[in-house]
Amino acid sequence: MSGSSDGLPQGEEKARAVRGLFDTISPRYDLVNRVMTFRMDVGWRRRAVRELHLPTGSRVFDLACGTGDFCRELERSGYRPVGFDFSFGMLANARTEAPLLQADALRLPVVDASADGVTCGFALRNVVSLAGLFAEIGRVVRPGGAIALLEASRPDSRVLRLGHTLYFERLVPMIGGLLSDRDAYAYLPRSMAYLPPPDEMLSMLRDAGFPSVRRLQLSAGIAQLLVGVRV
């Protein structure tokens, strides 16, 4: 499928591009994340895990698990994580004791209602179909189970939004170029265009079986957390 009008790939072309991108940046992915977020990403994941409010020992699927940051945080909080990622490079560089599977988050190789919870970090904009992802999450989470989906965002304040745009679109590619791959980290800010407005994402999650879903803004709005309970 051809790219969109803004030059971003769609469909299977997007899936191939995203897989190749994360295979490329996987060796230094954690380092670049820490540098470009000033380690705020660590606190964001901890907040996401706290928002699950599940019993100790609960089985939590971490989608687009990457190198295992969320899995390690889930383990520290007493959960039993299982990580899924379709980038073999990311899994090969993972640092976690949790079971890991290479799989497309839109087609998880698990039975219905097999998870007590689901986490996902900074991957909503990277899937081919966001509605398809939310439907799949609704399929695998048991009634009463919880989700905590972390994603980048843009501040509501005009002043903060301007500063964030300059940093995200100008400095992040420079940092990525110095530490990893400039083209990849130039694409990541552009990929924000894939995200629909927050109200639309919340509506999609309600349709997928999470009627109480809510959106939390983190660090003055540069990150967002979608949390809810399956009915």
Per-residue pLDDT at 2 exceeds 60 = no
More confidently predicted of 229 and 169: 229
Asked whether residue 184 is assigned to any structural domain, the reply reads yes
Per-residue pLDDT at 52 exceeds 70 = yes
Asked whether residue 5 is assigned to any structural domain, the reply reads no
For 60-107, write each residue's pLDDT tens digit.
999 999 999 999 999 999 999 999 999 999 999 999 999 999 999 999
Asked whether residue 1 is assigned to any structural domain, the reply reads no
Q: How high is the pLDDT of residue 188?
A: 85
How many other CB atoms are there within 10 angstroms of residue 95's CB atom?
Answer: 10
CATH number at residue 182: 3.40.50.150
Q: How high is the pLDDT of residue 213?
A: 98
Asked whether residue 80 is assigned to any structural domain, the reply reads yes
Q: How high is the pLDDT of residue 135?
A: 98
Band of residue 6 on the pLDDT scale cut at 50, 70, 90: low
> Domain containing 66: what range?
11-229
Asked whether residue 26 is assigned to any structural domain, the reply reads yes
For 119-178, write each residue's pLDDT tens digit.
999 999 999 999 999 999 999 999 999 999 999 999 999 999 999 999 999 999 999 999
CA quadruple 224, 196, 188, 68: dihedral sign = positive
- Is residue 192 within 8 Å of residue 155, measured between CB atoms? no
The number of domains in the chain is 1
For 171-207, write each residue's pLDDT tens digit.
999 999 999 999 999 998 899 999 999 999 999 999 9
Please give the single-letter amino acid code of residue 141: V
Cα distance between residue 143 and residue 133, in whole Å? 17
pTM of the complete model beyond 0.85? yes
- Is residue 148 within 8 Å of residue 44, measured between CB atoms? no
